[in-house]
Structure formats: structure tokens, C-alpha cells
Amino acid sequence: MTHALTYDTFPPHSSLRREVADGGIKITAAAEEPGPRARRLEKQRAALGGALLSAALLAAFVLAVASTYLAHRRYMGSWLFAMLVVAFVVFCAALFLLMWRAAYAARIERLERAMRQTTILVASPGRLLVETAGPFGQQSYDLCTRVGGPYRVTDFRLGSIERHNCLLIVLATGQLVRILPGRDDPELNWVARTLRGTVGL
């Protein structure tokens, strides 16, 4: 039977699926579109990036026109000064919205690409099978936890791939296998804990 991971401390927004049988576990991350929560988080992160870029552009603009403004300030009436202030505020808001929209579009495009990666993990005591395919390539691994065994797993930890969160499978050779790109930290931490407990690390 397949279960959505909506219990214990796992976030209810997760779309990962698991199957438990014969002392092992199968975790499936199917290709999908980013959900509302992921899009909301990307929008918040894009707002920060848009604000920083807007501030940098505005600072450069102010420095460029400051000397001209100061030289002509005494010739401006109060009505002209008020109009300039209003125009500047509108310009600031429009610039921020433009930068925010551009940053969000770029971030969501990268996230959509990451979420098209399909990954299947089959873990049992002493063994881990990995199948993954999608924009980040197609790979297949048969890993173990036995000392001296080929492709021995030593740890699972969070990492990144192309500016996306992912889960790192650390091998005894120092090689890193990157899986589950685009998933958030609570999901990756749950998968890491589950795999450690199942394979026996």
C-alpha cells in the first residue's frame, strides 16, 4: 500500500510516497509541478532578491543625479518638488515590482526543472537501490553499507545541486550522489533519517 507522508513530524504538503514491505522501504519522488507552498516560498525569496537589486540600482541612480538635483534645488517650487517626490516613489515601486517579477520567473523556472526529476529509492538492511531520471540525467546505483563493499554508503546529508536543495549520499570513496533536487529541508531530512535507520547507519 502507498502512503502520503502526512504523519509524525513530516510536513503535510509533501508529495513523496512510500511503501513498506519485508523490512525495507521504497520512497518515490515522481516528476511534478511545484505546489502552492513551494511557489509561495519562491515568491518570498524572489522578493528579497528583487529588493536588494532594486536598492542597488536606485543607489546608482541617486548618485548619478544627486549633483544635478542639488545644483538646481533652489530654483524648484514646492509643487515641482512634490511632483518629483511622487514620481520617484512611483519609479521605486515599479522598479521593485519589475525586479521581483523577473527574479520569481527565473526561480520558478529552475524549480520546475528540478521537480521534473523522478527518483525511486529502495532501502533494506545493508543495501540501497537508487534510480533517478530527468533533466539532471539518468543514473542507477546499487549501494551497500558493508565495510569493504563496493560503493559503500557512509552518510546521508543535505546539499545542493545547481542552486537547489538536494540529498547527498556520501560514499566511502568520497563520491557524492545527489538526489531529490528541489525538495525542501523537512522532506530531505525525513528521507535521510529514514534511510539511515533502514540501511543500518
From CA 49, how far away is CA 107, in angstroms rounded?
10
Sign of CA dihedral 44, 50, 52, 58: negative
Domains of the chain: 3-32+116-199 (2.30.29), 36-114 (no CATH)
Look up residue 7 and give its DSSP letter: S
Q: Tell me the sheet residues that pair with 17.
A: 4, 28
Q: Is 112 helix (H, G, I), strand (E, B) or coil?
A: helix
From CA 39, how far away is CA 115, in angstroms rounded?
12
Main-chain dihedrals φ then ψ at residue 23, nearest 5 degrees = 75, 5
- The model's pTM is 0.75
Q: How confident is the prediction along the chain (201 residues), in pLDDT tens digits per residue?
A: 444 444 445 667 788 888 887 778 999 999 999 888 889 989 998 888 888 888 887 887 777 676 676 666 667 677 777 887 788 889 888 888 998 999 999 999 999 999 999 999 999 998 999 999 999 989 999 998 877 666 889 999 999 888 888 999 999 888 899 999 999 888 999 999 999 989 988
